[in-house]
Amino acid sequence: MANESRSNSPGSLLFDRPEHSADSPLSVHAMTVAYQRKPVLWDVDFDAPAGSMIAIIGPNGAGKSTFIKACLGLVKRASGIVEFWGSPYRDARLRVGYVPQREAVDWDFPVTVMDVVCMGRYGRAGWLRPISRADRQTASECIDRVGLAGFESRQISQLSGGQQQRVFLARALAQEADLYFMDEPFAGVDAATERAIVRLLHDLRARGTTVICVHHDLQTVETYFDHVVLMNMRIVASGTVSAAFTPENLRRTYGGRLTLLAEASEAVARAERGT
Amino acid sequence: MSPALHEFLSIDLGPILAATFACVSCALLGNFLVLRRVSLMGDAISHAVLPGLVLAFMITGTRDPLPMFIGAAAAGIVTVGLVEAMRRYTRIEPGAAMGVVFSVLFALGVLMLERGAGRQVDLDADCVLNGLLEAMIWFVPDQWSQVLTWDAIASLPRQVWTLAIVAVVVSILVAVFFKELRIVCFDPGLATSLGFPASAVNGVFMVLVACVTVASFEAVGSILVIAMLICPPAAARMLTDRLRSQVLTSVLIAACCAVGGYTLAAFGPGWFGASRSVSASGMIAIVSGVAMASAMLLGPRHGVIARSVRRTRLAITIATEDLLAWVYRMEERARPAQIELAAETIGSSGLTLKLATARATRLGLLISENGNLRLTETGRRNATSLVRTHRLWESYLVERGGYAPDHVHDAAMRLEHAVDPDRHVRLEPPEPSTPLDPHQRPIPPRS
């Protein structure tokens, strides 16, 4: 069924498709996502090279967060297939980590730094099984790695923005995943935290972990990342930073040419609503 | 057994047990409603069950508890489903979605009552609001040996048994699924990605809320159900910052409210010479409101008193620093640091400044003689570092920020108190190009 929708999808002849392989941590085939019938991502194809650090960039409303959420099944896909190392997400769950945007949670929630980082172990513990002593040990090491030792029993509202982001990062590390999705890990953090996060991400890459970040700061793309995906409701370009991060591609991503696609989305939504 | 004790067992014990079980169950679940910011779900459900009750009566023709319960629970589940659907498919906020669903369903119930069931159902408004706690009489034997038999205990009012079972089931479920509830309430996105589907967990949880609300509401009335879903968890939230202790505290508060409220309602009027007791449910709800208000005032970190103490302390600390820096500047200009003059230059109120002076003297930073202030050795060290930070900030703002020299003093007065949250040291801007600040005063070297 997914194959069918793929051959019917509008853009299937327009772009060259890379070879999909079972070694790729993430293969996305012809994924389309719509919110209330309004398409926000059109026919996206993407293969993540293993062990790379990938930035997803694009203007607001380009569907960057939606891309991540759709890969993880947090929003419904209208069509397309997503595979992790050649398997569906269900079978690869433990190998995939997720760092949502900091605003996605209520920081007044009555939990401590330790509680939040332990949540990274919940997937391994599974239903009904409590967190073990070994899990707490791992969590405590991860807190150490992000430089928050001594903050374990702090309630999370008593942290600065940068510290909160580090808590999220420690929680992701506690997942011990091979592929991470991070939604704007550098948003609203201080310079010291940004450096600390980059160092950690590069450590992860050195161990062969793949990291996919939604990123906003075009200035740092070349220093922080080795691959880049330019997205504006579809993938405009993707590849190594040196090949894809070009002024021409940036202009095509951020420039006005795509308003046509946005207008078409509106028109599709209107037609489907019958207004 | 004395007659008084026998009276207590037969008239008061049933209501106390029923109220406690109902309050504890509601409070347990309420924690997660309050944290998910859908506290009014209980309100919505307890109104929206009316059409379910009427429909169950119209189908079965009886007012037996079982069909009534099934009808009400079904209506509760429909309410939850409709609210979730409205949230998902429209852009209105959850409060409005609940308001729309429950008012319409309640109105539907009223119409059905009028048309279909006619006068065969007597729905007593009093009963709906206050429940029938007072009617739970236990026909208890008057010999101890007979009280503690299975038959006697089994003859406790039906509602007591129902609510006891509900309380046990809810406690077990919350304990067993605690980890899952915590992650789903805190971070639904991560929960789903880890294999704990948030919308399914929430759906099942809401069905549980519907069942507990319906089971409790028959015995204790809708007002108490709504109060117990919100007040004990909200009060507990003020008292602790850990989810586990919040849940346990809320249970304790709920139980105390139930026992205390019932006692006040049943015996309180007697203490004031009145002969009639007041509504127990009403009194328990009021006690829970009082508990909430006390927690708001007395909470150790979030309480009004604790917060104002913290604010005052901070104001005194800042005023002390300002005072030290002011004395330093006066000594720098070789002018006497008269206490009266301090109030004119330093923005703090007179009382704060007096307290700050007393504090600085007590800490051995200042010496006060004949209305004049003088820095001690330690005081000078502190003041030097403060003035250094202040002047560094002024230079920074002028050199890097492009401010005019006469616009930076007030900003620097605030910035000089800024502390790095990670390292707990005063933030200090980089050294400027000249050793003089924008007002041509020397920047003291690092001590």
Q: Which CATH number belongs to the domain containing residue B85 in this structure?
A: 1.10.3470.10
Look at residue B275 and tell me if it is in a domain: no
- In 3D, which of B167, B292, B291 has the Cα closest to residue B220? B167
Look at residue B439 and tell me if it is in a domain: yes
pLDDT at B25: 96
Any idea which of A265-274, B45-54, B79-88 has the lowest mean pLDDT? A265-274
Q: When comparing pLDDT for A69 and A22, which is higher?
A: A69
Same domain membership, residue B93 and residue B7: yes
Across residues A156-184, what is the average pLDDT? 93
- Tell me which residue in B186, B192, B243 faces A74 most closely, judged by beta carbons: B192
Domain, as residue range, for B401: 389-447
Distances (CA, A) of A139 to A134, A171, A172, A193: 9, 7, 10, 19
User: Which percentage of chain B shows pLDDT scores above 90?
Assistant: 28
Q: Which residues of A touch B248 (CB under 8 A)?
A: none
- Tell me which residue in B189, B191, B241 faces A110 most closely, judged by beta carbons: B241
Q: CA A2 to CA A17: how far, in whole Å?
A: 16
**A239 touches A228 (CB < 8 A):** yes
- Tell me which residue in A36, A122, A159 faces B194 most closely, judged by beta carbons: A122
**B199 touches A128 (CB < 8 A):** no
Tens of pLDDT, residues A211-230: 999 998 888 999 999 999 99
Instruction: Evaluate if pTM is beyond 0.90.
Output: no
Tens of pLDDT, residues B50-64: 888 888 888 887 777
Q: Which residues of B touch A122 (CB under 8 A)?
A: 179, 183, 191, 194, 196
Half-sphere exposure of B59 (CA within 13 A, CB side): 11
Tens of pLDDT, residues B161-196: 989 999 999 999 999 999 999 999 999 999 999 999
Same domain membership, residue B395 and residue B359: no
First to last CA, chain B: 81
pLDDT at B401: 81
* Chain B: closest CA distance from residue A22 (Å): 21
SS (H, E, C) chain B: CCHHHHHHHHHHHHHHHHHHHHHHHHHHHHHHHHHCCCCCHHHHHHHHCHHHHHHHHHHHCCCCHHHHHHHHHHHHHHHHHHHHHHHHHCCCCHHHHHHHHHHHHHHHHHHHHHHHHCCCCCCCHHHHHHCCHHHCCCCCCCCHHHHCCHHHHHCCCHHHHHHHHHHHHHHHHHHHCHHHHHHHHHCHHHHHHCCCCHHHHHHHHHHHHHHHHHHHHHHHCHHHHHHHHHHHHHHHHHHCCCHHHHHHHHHHHHHHHHHHHHHHHHHHHHHCCCCCCCCHHHHHHHHHHHHHHHHHHHCCCCCHHHHHHHHHHHHHHHHHHHHHHHHHHHHHCCCCEEHHHHHHHCCCCHHHHHHHHHHHHHCCCEEEECCEEEECHHHHHHHHHHHHHHHHHHHHHHHCCCCCHHHCHHHHHHHCCCECCCCCCECCCCCCCCCECCCCCECCCCC
Q: How confident is the model at residue A274 (pLDDT cuts 50, 70, 90)?
A: low
pLDDT at A22: 64
ipTM of the complex: 0.83
Q: Which residues of A touch B194 (CB under 8 A)?
A: 93, 119, 122-123
pLDDT at A262: 65
- The nearest alpha carbon in chain B to A147 belongs to B422
Chain A residues with CB under 8 Å of a chain B CB are 36, 69, 72-74, 93, 96, 98, 100, 104-106, 109-112, 115-116, 119, 122-123, 125-128, 130-131, 155, 159-160, 163, 171, 192
> The domain at A2-268 falls in which architecture?
3-Layer(aba) Sandwich (3.40)
Q: Which two tokens stand for residue B352?
A: 């704060």
Q: Are residues A122 and B196, on separate chains, in Cβ contact within 8 Å?
A: yes
- Tell me which residue in B186, B195, B237 faces A111 most closely, judged by beta carbons: B186
Q: Are residues A160 and B35, on separate chains, in Cβ contact within 8 Å?
A: no
Q: Which amino acid is at B428?
A: E
On the question of pLDDT at B10 being above 90, the answer is no
User: Which percentage of chain A shows pLDDT scores above 90?
Assistant: 50
Quick check: helix, strand or coil at residue A161? helix
Domain boundaries, chain A: 2-268
Same domain membership, residue B363 and residue B407: no
Same domain membership, residue B435 and residue B369: no
Q: Are residues A110 and B240, on separate chains, in Cβ contact within 8 Å?
A: yes
Q: Which residues of A touch B243 (CB under 8 A)?
A: 109-111, 115
CB atoms within 10 A of CB B214: 26
Same domain membership, residue B226 and residue B172: yes
Look at residue B383 and tell me if it is in a domain: no
**A167 touches A149 (CB < 8 A):** no
pLDDT at A11: 43
Any idea which of A202-216, B15-29, B390-404 has the lowest mean pLDDT? B390-404
Q: CA B409 to CA B403: how far, in whole Å?
A: 11
Same domain membership, residue B316 and residue B169: no
Tens of pLDDT, residues B223-279: 899 999 999 999 999 999 999 999 999 999 999 999 999 999 988 888 887 777 788
Q: Which residues pair with A212 in a beta bridge?
A: A54, A181
Last residue of a domain, one of B183, B211, B231: B231
Residue B193 burial (C-beta neighbours within 10 Å; 0-12, 13-18, 19+):
buried
Tens of pLDDT, residues A92-134: 999 999 999 998 899 999 999 999 999 999 999 989 888 899 9
* Chain A: closest CA distance from residue B201 (Å): 12
Q: Are residues A119 and B421, on separate chains, in Cβ contact within 8 Å?
A: no
Across residues B297-304, what is the average pLDDT? 88
Look at residue B338 and tell me if it is in a domain: yes
Q: Which residues of A touch B246 (CB under 8 A)?
A: 110
Q: Which residues of A touch B191 (CB under 8 A)?
A: 122
**B236 touches B250 (CB < 8 A):** yes
Q: CA B324 to CA B374: how far, in whole Å?
A: 9
Same domain membership, residue B314 and residue B408: no
On the question of pLDDT at A12 being above 50, the answer is no
**B108 touches B51 (CB < 8 A):** yes
pLDDT at B201: 92
CB atoms within 10 A of CB B418: 12
Mean pLDDT of chain B: 85
Q: Which residues of A touch B422 (CB under 8 A)?
A: 160, 163, 192
Q: Which two tokens stand for residue B354?
A: 């007096």
Tens of pLDDT, residues B383-417: 888 888 888 888 888 888 888 888 888 888 888 88
Same domain membership, residue B358 and residue B224: no
**A48 touches A4 (CB < 8 A):** no
Tens of pLDDT, residues A39-62: 788 889 999 999 999 999 998 888
* Chain A: closest CA distance from residue B63 (Å): 39
Sequence-distant (≥ 6) Cβ neighbours of residue B267 within 8 angstroms: B277
User: Which percentage of chain B shows pLDDT scores above 70?
Assistant: 95
Same domain membership, residue B406 and residue B356: no
pLDDT at A113: 96
On the question of pLDDT at A7 being above 60, the answer is no
Residue A268 burial (C-beta neighbours within 10 Å; 0-12, 13-18, 19+):
middle
Same domain membership, residue B144 and residue B57: yes
Any idea which of A9-23, A57-71, A134-148 has the lowest mean pLDDT? A9-23
Is beta strand A53-57 parallel, antiparallel or unpaired with respect to A38-48? unpaired
- The nearest alpha carbon in chain B to A171 belongs to B190
Same domain membership, residue B76 and residue B112: yes
Across residues B298-317, what is the average pLDDT? 89
pLDDT at A151: 93
Last residue of a domain, one of B182, B205, B231: B231
Inter-chain contacts counted by CB atoms under 8 A, chains A and B:
78
On the question of pLDDT at A9 being above 50, the answer is no
- Tell me which residue in B35, B183, B421 faces A119 most closely, judged by beta carbons: B183
Look at residue B277 and tell me if it is in a domain: no
Any idea which of B6-20, B54-68, B89-103 has the lowest mean pLDDT? B54-68
Q: Which of A122, A159, A183, A272 to mutate to test the interface with B (most CBs of B within 10 A)?
A: A122
Tens of pLDDT, residues B93-118: 888 888 999 899 989 988 887 776 55
Count structural domains, chain B: 3
Same domain membership, residue B415 and residue B359: no
